Amino acid sequence: MWSVRTSRISPARRAVLAALPALLAFTPVAPVALARPALPVGRSISVVGSGELNWDVAVRAAPRSGARRVSLLRQFRPDYRPQVVLALSQRTDPTTGEPSWYRISVPGRPNGRTGWIPAAAADLHPVRELIHIDRGAKTLELWSKGRRVLKTRVAVGRPSMETPLGLYYVTWKLVPRGSALGVFALETSAYSKLSEWPGGGIVGIHGTYEPQLLGQAVSHGCVRVSNRDILRLRARVGLGTPISIVP
């Protein structure tokens, strides 16, 4: 369990800190002190923020430069798009009180990895939205500033190709070239069991021209929503938005 220094924090913020343990949906890998409380974005998760990398960075197993390397993230992806990261927690410099390390969700296989990067390696902004997907109920909810603003039916991965569970985030937004992904798509940091799929099996949240399949388990791991609702998500969801997928 982590602790937070509150000696110089206002009463209002102290109340937020007191409520955070009940909101957390993950357990940090090591005790950390937060310079500011992680932001509750809806349902039951809290994160520090998301943003783009400033340079190529080694992701470490612990918040120190000599720790084992978990992954290497490039500032720009192979298609020259910026690399976006989601910070789950942070460690602060005891002298300055500023963030010194961020624990991030690491995109790529295997799903669910986390690791630490120097705080200077990323420019973060607050996260105020959350996409919550209930795989069993086959529903998607969009939460904004702690309020649910959208709930809709979805199609999920079929047996043996199940949509992966866990905490992920939006890595890109795009208009598909073909009709298979509907009118719009959100690329995520999750990967399906089908590694031969374009992009190595990246899980997407995308529209569909077959709305009769919504509410069923029929995809290769992606989450399908109606074309109307994917356009609503397009307007409200930014890069780095957390995605919680539960059983």
Per residue in 35-77, pLDDT (tens digit) is 344 555 556 678 999 999 999 999 999 999 999 999 999 999 9
Q: CATH no. for residue 180?
A: 2.40.440.10
Among residues 223, 191, 190, the alpha carbon closest in space to that of 207 is found at 223
Number of domains in the chain: 2
Q: CATH no. for residue 91?
A: 2.30.30.40
Per residue in 112-146, pLDDT (tens digit) is 999 999 999 999 999 999 999 999 999 999 999 88
pLDDT at 195: 56
Say how far apart CA 35 and CA 46 lie, in whole Å. 14
115 and 27 co-located in one domain: yes
* Last residue in a domain, options 94, 109, 125: 125
* Last residue in a domain, options 94, 125, 156: 125
* 140 within some domain: yes
The structure tokens listed for 187 are 């690329």
By the 8 A CB rule, do 211 and 164 touch? no
Q: What is the 3-state secondary structure (H, E, C) of the chain?
A: CCCCCCCCCCHHHHHHHHHHHHHCCCCCCCCCCCCCCCEECCCCCEECEEEEECCCEEEECCCCCCCCEEEEECCECCCCCECEEEEEEEEECCCCCCEEEEEEECCCCCCCCEEEEEHHHEEEECCCEEEEEECCCCEEEEEECCEEEEEEECEEECCCCCCCCEEEEEEEEECCCCCCCCCCEEEEEEECCCCCCHHHHEEEEECCCCHHHCCCEEECCCEECCHHHHHHHHHHCCCCCEEEEEC
135 and 240 co-located in one domain: yes
* 3 within some domain: no
With a pLDDT cut of 90, the percent of the chain lying above it is 69
Angle at the Cα of 115 (from 108 to 166), degrees rounded to 5? 55
- 33-37, 45-49, 95-99, 151-155: which is most confident: 151-155
pLDDT at 201: 84
134 and 178 co-located in one domain: yes
The predicted model gives 155-183 an average pLDDT of 92
177 and 241 co-located in one domain: yes
Domain residue limits at 143: 129-246
Per residue in 188-212, pLDDT (tens digit) is 999 988 655 555 789 999 999 999 9
73 and 143 co-located in one domain: no
157 and 79 co-located in one domain: no
* 2 within some domain: no
* Last residue in a domain, options 108, 125, 142: 125
pTM of this structure = 0.80
* 14 within some domain: no
